[in-house]
Copies of this chain bind each other. A is one copy, B any other.
Amino acid sequence: MRILVIGAAGMIGRKLVHALLQAGTVNGKPIRYLTLADIVAPERPDFDGEIETIASDLSRPGAAKRLISLRPDIIFHLAAVVSGEAEADFEKGYRVNLDGTLSLFEAIRHEGMERPYTPRVVFTSSIVVFGEPLPPIISDTHCVTPLTSYGTQKAIGELLLADYSRKGILDGIGIRLPTISIRPGKPNRAASGFFSSILREPLIGEEAILPVSETVRHWFASPRAATRFLLHAAEIDTRSLGHLRTITMPGLSATVGDQIEALRRVAGDGATQLIRREPNEAIASIIAGWPQGFDTRRAEALGFQGEASFEEIIRVHIEDELGNRIREHA
């Protein structure tokens, strides 16, 4: 079995590669060849089989063709210019997120014209395809109304994935990831950053800033759950998807207050006291248009599983990122 991961150097990409190597198989078939591509060449992990790491910009002529000429059985397409950058640099966002995806699908179509070839393509979309007007609980049949160019490009990718699948060119499955919490790493300036930092920083004894009210509600999954979704998407029988090739992944609908209470239960009052309230109107108004909850019975029936509580999400972070240790508080 040959696997291609595009976007292998990103946070989820690295975790996916790690999980693939740990599993060693997909649907019981051993992974023998692994190609890791990203805009910069990804790190080369220890692997018994054949491995290749490639610096590749999908939107450049010939780049997709080169990756597809290896005829991978499974393609994880995680590569994207992220939300803030796609909004600031309109041309770059469309070039990478739209042209890049279209180039990939076209390379697959051309490869299949030479000899039959219908790879499984796992495409990561995002709940940011949804925007106002939104009901409190959003189903898979609710219209997509992206309020960013990034969300627009992901929504277009979903449509292309469905049409190329319908035509038998590829065997696509799109998964809309919840907001990932707790993101490992340093605080960043993304509007959603505080959803991770108010937990991540106190767990290592550092202060974090909360810019919104504790009543703000949003939709979350851990990096470990996101990785599990990707692996499961590579394995399931796509015939059960019908025409709806993209599925909103299960998540946890939680308020900031729920997050803080979970932190208190796991790490004590000392941890929660490190959260400093600094209301920020700009961030609050961006967040106000975001989804609060989804009906994901369809994903659950297909075997996708999210987290049941924010304590579980915090414990995943402590196990996976902190070597199972948290800092003691006074």
Contacts and interface: CB of A to CB of B under 8 A. Distances in A.
Contacts of A141: 133, 142-143
A143 B146 contact: no
A75 B160 CA distance: 26
A91 to B, nearest CB: 9
Interface string A138-150: 0011111111010
A147 B244 CA distance: 10
Contacts of A243: 131-133, 145, 147
Contact of A156 (B90, B142, B159): B159
Interface stretch (A48-56, A162-170, A250-258): A162-170
Interface string A119-152: 0000000000001110000001111111101001
A155 interface: yes
Contacts of A155: 159
Nearest to A244: B145
A242 interface: yes
Contact of A159 (B152, B162, B242): B152
Contacts of A146: 159, 162-163
A242 B133 contact: yes
Given A152-B162, A156-B159, A167 B90 contact: yes
B163 A152 contact: yes
A163 B144 contact: no
Nearest to A132: B243
Contacts of A242: 132-133
A109 B133 CA distance: 27
A143 B142 contact: yes
A105 to B, nearest CB: 10
Contact of A152 (B90, B132, B133, B160): B160
A307 to B, nearest CB: 26
A215 to B, nearest CB: 24
Given A160-B152, A162-B152, A143 B145 contact: no
Contacts of A152: 159-160, 162-163
Given A133-B242, A155-B159, A242-B133, A167 B149 contact: yes
A229 B144 CA distance: 24
A155 B163 CA distance: 11
A152 B161 CA distance: 10
Interface string A247-280: 0000000000000000000000000000000000
Contacts of A163: 146, 149, 152
26 contacts: A90-B109, A131-B243, A132-B242, A132-B243, A133-B141, A133-B243, A133-B244, A140-B143, A141-B143, A142-B142, A142-B143, A143-B143, A143-B244, A144-B144, A144-B159, A145-B162, A145-B243, A146-B159, A146-B163, A149-B167, A152-B159, A152-B160, A152-B162, A152-B163, A155-B159, A156-B156
Interface of A: 90, 109, 131-133, 140-147, 149, 152, 155-156, 159-160, 162-163, 166-167, 242-244
Given A131-B243, A140-B143, A156-B159, 4 more contacts: A90-B109, A90-B167, A133-B243, A152-B159
